[in-house]
Structure 1
Amino acid sequence: MTGESFTGKRIAVVGLGISNLALARYLAHRGADLTLCDQKSLEEMGDRKPAILQLAEMGARLRLGSRYLEGLWEFEEAYLTPGMKKYLPEIERARASGTKISTEAQLFLSLVKAKTIGVTGSAGKTTTSTLIGDVLSKSGRNTYVGGNIGQPLIEVVDDIPENAYVVLELSSFQLELMEKSPNTALVLNVTLDHMDVHRNRAEYVAAKTRIFSFQKEGDLAIFNGDDTTTAAMALEARARVALFSRRREVSGDGAFLRGSSAIVRLGGVEREVFDVGRLLIPGPHNVENALAASICLIDAGIKPAYIAEVLSEFRGVEHRIEFVRELEGVRYYNDSIATTPDRTAAALYTLAQPIVLIAGGSDKNLPYDRLGEVIVKRVHTLITMGHTAEKIEEAVRRALSSGEGKEQISIRRSRDLGEAVTLARRLAPPGASVVLSPASASFDAFSNYKERGKLFKRLVLEL
């Protein structure tokens, strides 16, 4: 078996989600002295229980339940699940005691020999990563797509050849402990997100910067020139820098619009890549995603005509302003990925009015004031649900009282998603766009946003 040996190393894998279970299998096959830690009991693990028991049969010890972090400082290495708070007392003590605190994503980047492309941002990561992967794969490149999407790649890291391309969607959770950056780094945008895990905005932004902080001079860092935070990040990069903008022509390397044509300039050479009018994915944010991806792909040697061809056929990603059906002149969209107010605001500017918005879910401790203003301007009927229903409604009422947009908006509260869909059909005016775009996480009623989106689609198709 090729790859690094972990024989005899005392390693804790903390949090037994999909990526960490894959990591545990990788480490177990390489001789690690493994302990699996999770705050849930074995019976609470659901469909993960068989995989955990299989690892236990291979020699892994289990430390499950409320005391799962006890003794973490006794291990040589501890790999934390994405989304876990990194400043818990037990983790701080382990770090102070010399335990190496890391993640599956960091280990993968340290081991993989192929060319790596990392994509981060508060919104657009999955669409852009998928688009880059599609173009590379269809052009004949040996391509792997992973990170925050798809199947974890850690189990096949030793089999990925040097001439391959690996495209990684990287969240702030995965980045905050990074000590190595991908060869090409894309930072699409930075807005508030995950304030339920990060202590403040500065910590969240600092995590995002690690995608390029460890790059070398020959690497490439791509930033959104229209986002003040990411534009400032560009000044800190040590690699080659390229900016993308849909509002202005950038100076130096980057991508921009000249009329409806997307232009990529690298090394002083301009190439016309695609026409905005031929994009199937809706909204100005997707123009930005396509611009960012085009810089990366031109740098990888893909011909502009080929990028344009794939873009003209690319329909986006499930749960991201995904068209579900048209019924009685009303179009239904699934935007369950929108777990933040900013993502929902972007969706509302993408869709045709009148709009019926279904919003609400579990609370990520994010402000809703700006979304309230956008709802008042863009939405005909608001249907709320979940723990954040009241917060969203209050933000809309504040916007109304301040004179933003129209004088009134119809607001209805629903018990659950099923009732929300029924209400939406009854209340949607002719020609409306009905969209599930929750501006909230899903954990009050669902295991993840995908489960929520799939239920919405099933409910709509059953109307």
Structure 2
Amino acid sequence: MKKDFRDFEKFIRGKKTAVVGIGVSNRPLINFLLDLGAEITAFDRKDEEQLGEIAEEFRRKNIKLVLGEDYLHSLNSFQVIFKTPSMRIDNPYLVKARQEGAYITSEMEEFIKYCPGKVYGVTGSDGKTTTTTIIYNILKGRGYRTWVGGNIGTPLFSRIKEMKSEDKVVLELSSFQLMTMNVSPEVAVITNISPNHLDIHKDMDEYINAKKNIFRYQDKNALLVLNRDNDIVNLMVSEAPGNVRQFSSRRVLNKGGYLKGGSLYIDEDEVCKLEEVKIKGMHNVENFLAAFCAVKDEVSIENMKKVAVNFSGVEHRCEFVRTVDGIKYYNDSIASSPTRTLAGLKAFEKPVVLIAGGYDKKIPFDVLAEEGYKKIKILILMGATKNKIKKAFDKLRDEKGINVPIFMVESLLDAVNKARELAEKGDIITLSPACASFDMFPNFEVRGNSFKKIVNEL
């Protein structure tokens, strides 16, 4: 049963409220809570100069600011605290605040609790963004008033008063957002699970448990969509509180989404031929099958097919940039894990010149070497993880005699120039880092745009 947002309005009015993080996604939240009558203090590690105009704007609105390296030291005596998703709940300052009686929450938690429309939540180690976007496009194509948010799109909590019960809302949810969640969407999708974000999570078990929160609080009428081909995800079937639909690209299922005889099916119905799907790669087939399972009760086969044959993909995901001197360049900057890079490599028909490396999320790269070497003609490494990735490929050479040519560079510009120097006419060069971007860039979008700028200036 959805909660009435008027209850939240009554609850927050006049409350001494802290919002941790003044990033782009939290700014609408801060303004919204202020409009609802909360007494706001905004916290951020950045100083006033780094925040620039937003700091001045907030001061004009009588929003108190606590800034700088020691910003969390003042996180006390608050009645409500909205934490940033990547902040662990066992952070000592949050633990102390909770002991003092603070209600600790997050924007996404409150949004799912009070959103009047039907919520579709998508999580997984890979494929979240594409699956979320496909679901959004199918529902929108059917004529529903549809919203998209979470990790993509715009922050939605500040727009909750515009939403109606008949609206559809599609959310991409990370393990960080789910870690403290005690509410689940009506439709939950888990695309797959493989090691990821072990720089934040204590271990793999904690990471998996965070993902499970997407369905843990569902009721018996809710729907959980699970990947039949992923061993970790398949084991969750028995834990589902409500209905389960599964999808598979490897086996025919009695019901759910599956591939059979060169066609994509949902239950007994053929949606489209594999050759009709515009974006290539078996990982994208799986994304479509997951989406079909999620929306089956709301749309027609025709709605599903229309998106499958027309959807050209998500920016920064195996995105074609241009051809220069007979060499094709692709931007797969969103690939921030080895398994996501592998999925991208498998979409190409021949081995590629791969640019990889970046921020260290403390996950192993052995799988990239062991499964990816057949698809890599030349490997160009950059960033904080370049030596770690090289070590995985050196191990492959020493143990199995498989040698992938490796070149080490200092920057993305150097990487593109080296790739161009080594590539031959007819080759493919792809940026697919297998790592997050934070060692060199604020996010994967900036990294991808930088790559595209360099390539477009060649």
Same topology, TM > 0.5: yes
Aligned to 1:337: 334
Query: Do residues 127 (structure 1) and 95 (structure 2) align?
Result: no
Query: Gapped runs of 5+ residues in structure 1?
Result: none
**Residue number in structure 1 paired with 2:316:** 319
CA distance in 1, matches of 2:111, 2:54: 21
The aligned runs of 1:45-56 (5 Å cut-off) are: 45=51, 49-56=52-59
What is the SS of the residue equivalent to 1:222? strand
**Residue 402 of structure 2 is aligned to residue 400 of structure 1:** no
1:373 aligns with 2:378: no
Q: Cα distance, 1:98 vs. partner?
A: 2.4
Local SS of the residue matching 1:182 = coil
Q: 1:188 aligned to 2:186?
A: no
Cα separation, 1, equivalents of 2:249 and 2:372: 24
Q: Which residue of 2 aligns with 1:274?
A: 272
User: How far is the alpha carbon of 1:372 from its aligned partner?
Assistant: 1.9
* Distance apart, 1:390 and its partner CA: 0.8
Residue in structure 2 matched with residue 229 of structure 1 by the alignment: 232
The equivalent position to 1:283 in structure 2, one of 281, 290, 294, is 281
SS of aligned partner of 2:193: coil
TM superposition shift of 1:444: 1.5
Query: How much has 1:30 moved relative to structure 2?
Result: 0.5
Q: Please, what TM-score do these two structures have when normalized by structure 2?
A: 0.95
Secondary structure, in 3 states, of the residue corresponding to 2:239? coil
* Structure 1 position 348, deviation (Å): 1.7
- AA of the residue aligned to 1:414: V
1:295 paired residue among 293, 296, 299: 293
Query: 1:75 aligned to 70, 74, 78, which one?
Result: 78
1:261 to 256, 260, 263: 263
Which one is further off, 78-87 or 172-181?
A: 78-87
Q: Please name the residue that 1:452 is paired with.
A: 447
In the alignment, what sits opposite 2:139? 136
Judge conservation of contact 1:73–1:98 (CA < 8 Å) in 2. Answer: no
Q: Is the 8 A contact 1:13 1:34 kept in 2?
A: yes
Q: In the alignment, what sits opposite 2:45?
A: 39
Q: What secondary structure is seen at the aligned counterpart in 2 of 1:317? A: coil
In the TM superposition, what is the alpha-carbon distance from 1:52 to its structure 2 partner?
3.6
For residues 309 and 138 of structure 1, what CA distance do their matches in structure 2 show? 8
Distance 2:207 2:55 in 1: 32
Look up the equivalent residue of 1:337 and give its one-letter code.
I
CA distance in 1, matches of 2:97, 2:252: 49
Q: Which residue of 2 aligns with 1:423?
A: 418
Q: Which residue of 1 aligns with 2:351?
A: 354
Question: How far does the alpha carbon of each residue in 1:215-254 deviate from its partner, in whole angstroms, 9 at most, with x for none?
Answer: 1111111000101111111210111100101111224x41
**Structure 1, residues 271-322: CA drift from partner, whole Å, max 9, x if none?**
221221111112111110000101122121x110221122101011000111
Answering whether residue 25 of structure 2 is matched by residue 16 of structure 1, we say: no
Corresponding letter in the other structure for 2:9: E
Which residue in 1 is equivalent to 2:109? 106
Using the TM superposition, give the Cα deviation of residue 458 of structure 1 relative to its aligned residue in structure 2, in angstroms. 1.3
Partners in 2 of 1:114 and 1:305 — Cα distance?
Answer: 24
Please report how far the alpha carbon of residue 54 of structure 1 lies from its aligned counterpart in structure 2 after TM superposition.
2.2
State the alpha-carbon separation in 2 of the partners of residues 230 and 374 from structure 1: 21
Identity percentage over the alignment?
41
Instruction: Note the alpha carbon deviations across 1:388-417, whole angstroms, 9 max, x for none.
Output: 11111111111111116x4x2221111211
Deviations along 1:49-100, whole A, 9 cap, x unmatched? 3234323322221111122112424211111112223322111222233222
* SS of residue matched to 2:171: strand
CA contact (8 A) 1:354 1:431 kept: no
Report the aligned-residue RMSD. Answer: 1.5
Looking at structure 2, the residues matched to 144 and 409 of structure 1 have their Cα atoms a distance apart, in angstroms, of 45
- In 2, the alpha carbon distance for the partners of 1:400 and 1:69 equals 47
Q: Which amino acid aligns with 1:320?
A: R
Who is 1:434 aligned against? 429
Q: Which runs of 5+ in 2 are unaligned?
A: none
- Answer yes or no: is the 8 Å Cα contact 1:336–1:449 preserved in 2: yes
- SS of residue paired to 1:232: helix
Distance 1:289 1:274 in 2: 14
CA contact (8 A) 1:360 1:440 kept: yes
Matching residue within 248, 272, 286 for 2:251: 248
Q: Which secondary structure does the structure 2 equivalent of 1:211 belong to?
A: helix
* In 1: Cα distance, 2:98 partner to 2:205 partner: 22
Pairs aligned (count): 452
Alignment of 1:73-222 (within 5 A): 73-222=76-225
Please report how far the alpha carbon of residue 460 of structure 1 lies from its aligned counterpart in structure 2 after TM superposition: 1.1
- Which of 18, 25, 41 does residue 31 from structure 2 map onto? 25
State the TM-score, normalized to the length of structure 1: 0.94
Question: Matches of 1:85 and 1:40 in 2, distance apart?
Answer: 19
What is the letter of the counterpart of residue 379 of structure 1? I
Distance in 1, matches of 2:22 and 2:419, equals 38
Question: Partner letter of residue 461 of structure 1?
Answer: N
Query: Residue 256 of structure 1 aligns to a residue in which SS?
Result: strand
Question: Structure 1 residues 340 and 57, CA, compared in 2 at 3 Å: closer, same or farther?
Answer: same
For 1:415-454, what per-residue CA distance to the aligned partner results, in whole angstroms no more than 9, with x for missing partners?
2111111111111133221110111111121111111100
